[in-house]
Amino acid sequence: MSHSGIGMTSQRTRERLIERIRAQGVRDEKVLSQILNTPRHLFIDEALSSRAYEDTALPIGKSQTISQPYIVARMTEALLEHGPLENVLEVGTGSGYQTAILSPLVRRVYTTERIESLLSQARSRFHQLRLINIRTRHTDGGLGWPQYAPFDGIIVTAAPLGVPLALVQQLRVGGRMVLPVGDKDKQALVRVTKTEDSHDIEMLEAASFVPLLDGVK
Ligand code: SAH
């Protein structure tokens, strides 16, 4: 991996990003250190590299975006809050940035993406960064990945209109899912915890994600 000598990847620039995320209330040091140590500029087009450590979402092509670092940190923290997780399903690989943040914090990540070209770029980044506990699949992730269910955790990085029951079914009892829910005018980040006979929903904060879409491309 080469990120030598370029100002935008300087330690100071990344530390400033961490300070911003901390100021917004993220407390999990493991998550913050993952954000500090993950080269976000490798997950976006070179033309945008100078903005890689700004706390904003950026375009990654195909009308999709790499999530804002704060929201990645917040979702990861919410997912891991009640103890470590073994196997986690991710819906919406996109650039692979969220996957890379999560990968060292759990035993295995199963990540799904409906747009093949984005997934293949993400795969080569995982390879380049030697993240070997990630399994990828080109599929409609709204249907989950039944072969590896039940999951201890699920993270969804595109917004369905409501909580997808197919995903709740693939959580183990006590497992949790963090996802944005709603349309582009009114969207909230929520955490769903699976119970013996149903599930609980907690509202976390307002959110603004691209929509979860059906089918593959
Ligand atoms: N976590 C990503 C966010 C990418 S944006 C990152 O940080 O880069 C959300 C992604 O969800 C897009 O790439 C979009 O193609 C994908 N997506 C939307 N609906 C999907 C579905 N049903 N299954 C899998 N991926 C989906």
Q: CA-to-CA distance for 112 and 140, rounded, in angstroms? A: 7
Does the active-site annotation cover 63? no
User: For strand 64-66 and strand 58-61, is the pairing parallel, antiparallel, or unpaired?
Assistant: antiparallel
CA of 114 to the centre of ligand 1 (A): 7
Helices (H), 63-179: 69-80, 97-102, 116-128, 165-169
CA of 37 to the centre of ligand 1 (A): 23
pTM of model > 0.75: yes
Closest residue CA from atom 6 of ligand 1: 66
Q: Is 26 helix (H, G, I), strand (E, B) or coil?
A: coil
CA of 5 to the centre of ligand 1 (A): 32
pLDDT in tens, the chain (217 residues): 444 444 456 889 999 999 999 999 999 999 999 999 999 999 999 999 999 999 999 999 999 999 999 999 999 999 999 988 999 999 999 999 999 999 999 999 999 999 999 999 999 999 999 999 999 999 999 999 999 999 999 999 999 999 999 999 999 999 999 999 999 899 999 999 999 999 999 999 999 999 999 999 9
CA of 44 to the centre of ligand 1 (A): 15
The answer to whether the CB of 158 is under 6 A from ligand 1 is: yes
Q: Ligand 1, from 41, 209, 213: best to mutate by most atoms within 8 Å of Cβ?
A: 213
Q: Ligand 1, from 91, 103, 123: best to mutate by most atoms within 8 Å of Cβ?
A: 91
